[in-house]
Structure 1
Amino acid sequence: MHFVTGGAFNGKRAWVKKTYSVNEHDHWLSAYENEPLPTNFMEINDGVIILEGVELWLKDLTKNYEANKCREFWNRRLEDWLTWEKANLNRKLIVIGTDITKGIVPLEAENRRWRDVTGWAFQDIAAKSNKVDVIWYGLNQTIK
């Protein structure tokens, strides 16, 4: 798994498309396009799956569950996705998430919970990823 993160509108999508030569055979699932949180990739035999907008899927989870349940649910999804990727050498999973954890702490409890859950989830994604890149201004910095 490759985790790509960075600020909003900093070129994460373009960098992934260029780096992986994304084509019509790859599977791009985006929370920004109202795609639901994917739970099962088993019908996809090989190729690249790109999951974009992780922070929005996490926001949806925080609307329905308390923080620890969100993190537990999220880690189950990560394990399912990693199982899919590891089952075939021709599979690659790329996860893209916008960093919302910097700046002023939100006043509203629900937004603080979303920020906290996102920070924890990004830590979990980074820990389980083979590679992590931060994209700022279209430039990558590999941190793992």
Structure 2
Amino acid sequence: MHFIIGGAFNGKRAWVKNTYSEYENKHWVSAYDNHPLPINLIEFGQDVVILEGVEIWLKDLTVKFDASKCRDIWDNCLEKWLTWEQAAFHRQLIVIGTDITKGIVPVEVENRLWRDVTGWAYQDIAAKSTKVDVIWYGLNQTIK
């Protein structure tokens, strides 16, 4: 799994498109296009799957569940995704998330919950990823 993180409108999508341009058969799933949180990646029928907008899927979870349940659901997703990726040598999962965990702590309880859950989820993704890149202004810095 390759985790791509960076600020909003910092070129993450363009960087991923350029970096993974040699892969013709890839499936792009975006929360920004109102795609639901995917659980079973095999249904896409592609060897490369790109998941974009992780923070949006996490926000949807925080609207319905408490922090503990959100983390359980997220951990289950990560395990299923990793199982899919590791089932075939040529599979690649790319996960893109916007960093919402910096700056002023939100006053609203629901936004603090979203920020906290997103921070925990990003730690989990980074820990389980084989590669992590931070994108700022279209430039990457590999941190893992």
Q: TM-score w.r.t. structure 2 length?
A: 0.96
The equivalent residue for 1:57 is 57
The equivalent residue for 1:91 is 91
- In structure 2, the gaps of 5 or more residues are none
Instruction: Give, in whole Å, the separation in 2 of the partners of 1:130 and 1:26.
Output: 19
Instruction: Give, in whole Å, the separation in 2 of the partners of 1:8 and 1:26.
Output: 23
Number of corresponding residues: 144
- In structure 1, the gaps of 5 or more residues are none
What do you get for the CA RMSD once the two structures are aligned? 1.2
Q: Which letter maps to 2:3?
A: F
Residue 117 (str. 1) matches residue 117 (str. 2): yes
**Per-residue deviation, 1:24:** 5.5
Question: Aligned in 2, Cα 1:103/1:22: closer, same or farther, shift over 3 Å?
Answer: farther
Which segments of structure 1 move beyond 6 Å, counting only runs of 4 or more?
A: none
Percentage of pairs with the same residue? 72
Instruction: Give, in whole Å, the separation in 2 of the partners of 1:134 and 1:25.
Output: 25
Instruction: Give, in whole Å, the separation in 2 of the partners of 1:22 and 1:117.
Output: 34
**Per-residue deviation, 1:41:** 1.5
Say whether the 8 Å CA contact 2:78–2:125 is kept in structure 1: yes
